[in-house]
A and B are shown apart, each in its own frame.
Chain A
Amino acid sequence: MIDKKEQLNLVIVGHVDHGKSTFLGRLLHDTNSLPEGKLEQVKAVCERNSKPFEYAFLLDALKDEQSQGITIDAARCFFNTDKRHYIIFDAPGHIEFLKNMVTGAGQAEAGILLIDAKEGVKENSRRHGFLLSLLGIKQIVVLVNKMDLVDFSEDVFNSIKKEYTEFLKDINVNPIEIIPISAFNGDNMVTKSEKSPWYKGKPVVEHIDLFKKEPERTDKAFRFPVQDIYKFTEENDDRRLVAGTVRTGSISKGDKVLFLPSKKESSITSIEQFNVTSQTTSSAGQSVGFTLDTQLYIKPGEVMVKVSEAKQHPFSSTTFKANVFWLGKQPLIKNKKYKLKLASARESVYLKEIVNVMDASELTSTTNNKSVNRHDVGECIFQTIRPVSFDLATDFEFTGRFVIVDGYEIAGGGIITQAIESESSQIQDFISKRDYAWEKSVISPESRYLRYNHKAKFIVITGPDDTGKIDLAKTIEERLFNDGKKAYFMGISNMLSGVGATSSAGVEDRDEHIRSLGELAHLFTDSGQIFISTVSNLDDVEAEILKELNKPNDIVVINIGESRFKDFPVHLQLETPIDKEDALNKIYLLLQDQLGFANYSI
């Protein structure tokens, strides 16, 4: 029989030397969670090195860590009570290791904060409390440790309790209990200690069992960030699977679903899991796959929601406000491209505005900052190039929290506090800067039009790979040229064909590519020419970006084969395999109209 106990993740934090490792060692010992022989082994090592035994050594299994004498990483320990299985993340107290602390706390459902009775509240005690609250941990127990060193004085305890509770109140944290303990001697750990008769609460372990498992996520609206799309063909498998983890809510076969931000709709044909007999519903926590009743093109990173829950759909926007804590060696600055990882989405992101920066331990905030430095917490506005779907972190954890990657490193984490209607996009900002610096020629577009006998135009041919886009583009160029038009086909864009089309890794390269293409198009069309290029798998957002960048001249979009467009008005859709003659005629008809040769070419 498999026991059905639940599992809860805890994090323990505290200033260095306040006794975290001792507490953990003692906890493991007192809950009978140490492997047999481990304690003896460590005691033997201590004896060999003539060091007094410390519970901390139990955890300091690493050599270099013992020599440094500080816990350097968020280590996991496992222990059980009669009620639950626990994993406890040991988050180091040293500021240098804040990223490790965040790593531990980022996975926890409840927190234990340790304060040394003799030393009292330290900078890190405050910083950690603040970070726990930022990371969304609402259940906190505070332990005042080393009470033996202050003779279990109620006064000492009360003054620490008062100071720290006031601090916690400022950051809207309501600790469940503040407990006087001696980790080393085991007072108030498992049973109440006689040395602190004035303490009326429960011992630590009982409190741990009282932490609540997160309220059932199943009751919330449905969120399914699309992690990936699979089509494995081996063994004649013809399923097209939308894979991911149901984060909240539940869904059943036949339900109508919507993908955001693309707004594509479909409904669930089947729910798939290996080695599970046919399933008709799936709910929060499950990693599953769905097949849909329509052949949709959707991207990993979109969020699947239920059509019926329209009132609780996530936001889709390029702009949001968030609290970020920065861990990167380089500060967070404007005009620099970062990578956003939000649920399953990966997008290029820019810092648009710093509202204020907070010192995490003093809780003082400053405005007019140019950057958010390492270990600072900033309230910031971020903007992505493409819209993303997200929630506010207070409503939905998984789709409301994100990390920011700088170069190869995760440099910050944040929680979204507000969706913002932005007046201008990253591209528009870029264009206004560009246009501001632009010296206008004395030759007007009209004069060029009259001279060349056609309008300037940007022709983009798109569609999946291997559909004959380039061949068609060259033929159009040739035909226009032979007709006396100033047409130019640029083949360089094919270097990047396929980049980012399916994998998430190349998203930034792809964004960059689209932008440079739009810029080139703008140069050519500004000179009055017809600029022809190909891009694989263009979608609504990218076509809009190209259109914006190329303004004031117009864009013509021709799609061959499977289309990824939903809203963008494609000028011509050609089916594969294309009949080149027929295609060329259609295009020419379209262009005559678009280029205005009807009026001017005679």
Chain B
Amino acid sequence: MDYLDNLEAKSVYILREAYKDFKSLCMLWSIGKDSTVLLWLARKAFFGHVPIPLVHIDTHYKIPAMIEYRDNIAREWKLNMVYGENADALKNKQTFPDGNLDRISCCKNLKSEALKHTLSGDWPRYRMNHDTGKYDLDKNTEPYTGVIVGARADEEGSRSKERVFSPRDKASDWDVGDQPPELFEQFKTDFAPGSHVRIHPLLDWTELNIWEYIQREKIPIIDLYFDNGEGQRFRSLGCFPCTTPVESRSKNVEEIVEELRSGKFANIAERSGRAQDKEDGGGLETLRREGYM
């Protein structure tokens, strides 16, 4: 077994632990490469099936091709596809740049808040109806007690501290200083009513591993990651006002792998194209505490 086999086997094991121990489980799917790999790993874990609802937080500022790609895959793989949003903030334009908000506050509204309330079920959720191909209001408003997330430890400082099973209290807060022990591949699967657990099957993967795995498994990935013909591609996906493409001529997965392994990106942090990370030193950390990711 090479290291990709190892990573895959461990992630599959984690997904199955989550599925066994959490009655109300969901998986966040941002459409990006990491959570798409996660989705693929779920198919591995459950032998081609995905018995877990996929939750997407639609900021309505996502690059439009992302939503199209999401729905195509959802139809093709018969996914239990659910999305949530911050309808109020969108209506009242409490957003960046068109509202009077900075980037971080916009993230907080459209992502943190939307996520928190979608997970708890107190804001509407919309579920894909596979007969009509459209989204209907989801009747299930039960809170999700297990939330599978595609975070990687190498992404950002704060994430390297994460546990595979990471408890969040009622307010979705993460107590970094007092985390449960995790050993012998046994995880925290018991939790108090009202709290929930974030599950991170990709913690040990690096960005390069993700691409190598996409290459090996031939996972269909959104083409925003590839050179659009003008020498630019996205390295990480988000909302269009805050995500800028990087200069790169990589047209396919092979070229991206090469670029990450030994080329120009070998030593440049992945989220360098994300503007909101730069606004405050611990931007992601702030957002994490707020409950986004």
Question: Could you list which residues of chain A lie within 8 angstroms of chain B, going by C-beta atoms?
Answer: 2-7, 32, 34-38, 45, 59-65, 72-78, 85, 87, 99-100, 102-103, 105-107, 135, 227-228, 230, 232, 234-235, 237, 239, 241, 243-245, 272-275, 285-287, 289, 300, 327, 339, 341, 398, 401-403, 405, 407-410, 413, 503-505
B43 close to chain A: CB less than 8 A: yes
Residues of A within 8 A of B78 (CB): 234-235
Query: Closest CB of chain A to B82's CB: distance in Å?
Result: 17
Of the stretches B89-97, B103-111, B173-181, the one at the interface is B173-181
B157 close to chain A: CB less than 8 A: yes
Docked Cα-Cα span, A230 to B44, in Å, equals 13
Residues of B within 8 A of A403 (CB): 181, 183-184, 186
Residues of A within 8 A of B10 (CB): 287
Question: Could you list which residues of chain B lie within 8 angstroms of chain A, going by C-beta atoms?
Answer: 1-10, 12-13, 16-17, 19-21, 23, 43-49, 51, 78, 153-154, 156-158, 160-161, 163, 176-177, 179-186, 188-192, 203-204, 206, 212, 215-217, 261, 267-269, 272, 281-282, 285
Docked Cα-Cα span, A413 to B184, in Å, equals 8
Q: Could you list 29 examples of A-B contacts with CB < 8 Å?
A: A2-B212, A7-B3, A61-B158, A61-B160, A63-B285, A65-B176, A74-B161, A75-B160, A76-B160, A99-B181, A102-B181, A103-B179, A103-B183, A105-B183, A107-B182, A107-B183, A227-B17, A228-B19, A237-B47, A272-B47, A275-B43, A287-B8, A287-B44, A401-B184, A408-B191, A410-B186, A410-B188, A504-B21, A505-B21
Residues of B within 8 A of A73 (CB): 161, 176-177, 179
Q: Of B51, B153, B161, which is within 8 A of A62 by CB?
A: B161
B4 in contact with A2 (CB, 8 Å): yes
Residues of B within 8 A of A135 (CB): 183
The 4 tightest CB contacts between A and B, nearest first, are A61-B157, A106-B183, A99-B181, A287-B12
Residues of A within 8 A of B183 (CB): 102-103, 105-107, 135, 403, 410, 413
Query: Closest CB of chain A to B48's CB: distance in Å?
Result: 5
Residues of B within 8 A of A505 (CB): 21, 23, 189-190
Q: Of B8, B45, B154, B181, which is within 8 A of A410 by CB?
A: B181
Q: Of B43, B161, B179, B267, which is within 8 A of A32 by CB?
A: B267
Please give 13 more A-B residue pairs, beta carbons under 8 A apart, in addition to A235-B48, A243-B47: A2-B4, A2-B216, A5-B2, A5-B3, A7-B3, A78-B154, A135-B183, A227-B13, A272-B47, A327-B181, A408-B192, A503-B21, A503-B23
| Residue of B177, B181, B285 with highest tally of chain A CB at under 10 A | B181
Docked Cα-Cα span, A274 to B217, in Å, equals 10
Q: Which residue of B lies closest to A403 (CB)?
A: B186
Q: Which residue of A lies closest to B48 (CB)?
A: A274
Docked Cα-Cα span, A275 to B43, in Å, equals 9
Residues of B within 8 A of A72 (CB): 161, 176-177
A2 in contact with B2 (CB, 8 Å): yes
Residues of A within 8 A of B43 (CB): 274-275
A85 in contact with B13 (CB, 8 Å): no
Query: Closest CB of chain B to A63's CB: distance in Å?
Result: 5
Query: Closest CB of chain A to B5's CB: distance in Å?
Result: 7
Q: Which residue of B lies closest to A415 (CB)?
A: B184
How many A-B contacts are there with CB distance less than 8 Å?
A: 187
B47 in contact with A409 (CB, 8 Å): no
Residues of B within 8 A of A38 (CB): 269
B46 in contact with A230 (CB, 8 Å): yes
A61 in contact with B156 (CB, 8 Å): yes
A7 in contact with B282 (CB, 8 Å): no
Docked Cα-Cα span, A100 to B177, in Å, equals 10
Docked Cα-Cα span, A227 to B7, in Å, equals 18
Residues of B within 8 A of A287 (CB): 8-10, 12-13, 16, 44-45
Docked Cα-Cα span, A175 to B221, in Å, equals 47
A7 in contact with B51 (CB, 8 Å): no
Q: Of A32, A62, A78, A410, which is within 8 A of B158 by CB?
A: A62
Query: Closest CB of chain B to A10's CB: distance in Å?
Result: 13
Known: A103-B181, A409-B180. A286 touches B161 (CB 8 A): no
Query: Closest CB of chain B to A31's CB: distance in Å?
Result: 12
Docked Cα-Cα span, A287 to B117, in Å, equals 35
Docked Cα-Cα span, A102 to B156, in Å, equals 23
Docked Cα-Cα span, A63 to B288, in Å, equals 13
Q: Which residue of B lies closest to A227 (CB)?
A: B16
B5 in contact with A285 (CB, 8 Å): yes
Docked Cα-Cα span, A60 to B43, in Å, equals 36
Docked Cα-Cα span, A402 to B21, in Å, equals 17
A87 in contact with B190 (CB, 8 Å): no
Docked Cα-Cα span, A285 to B181, in Å, equals 23
Residues of A within 8 A of B153 (CB): 75-76, 78
A35 in contact with B20 (CB, 8 Å): no
Q: Of B4, B160, B179, which is within 8 A of A100 by CB?
A: B179
Query: Closest CB of chain A to B282's CB: distance in Å?
Result: 5
Docked Cα-Cα span, A287 to B43, in Å, equals 12
Query: Closest CB of chain B to A148's CB: distance in Å?
Result: 28
Residues of A within 8 A of B185 (CB): 398
Query: Closest CB of chain B to A193's CB: distance in Å?
Result: 26
Q: Of B2, B181, B186, B191, which is within 8 A of A402 by CB?
A: B186
Query: Closest CB of chain B to A244's CB: distance in Å?
Result: 8
B2 in contact with A6 (CB, 8 Å): yes
Q: Which residue of A lies closest to B163 (CB)?
A: A103
Q: Which residue of A lies closest to B43 (CB)?
A: A274
Residues of A within 8 A of B203 (CB): 76
B2 in contact with A4 (CB, 8 Å): yes
| Residue of A61, A102, A234, A407 with highest tally of chain B CB at under 10 A | A61
Q: Which residue of B lies closest to A107 (CB)?
A: B183
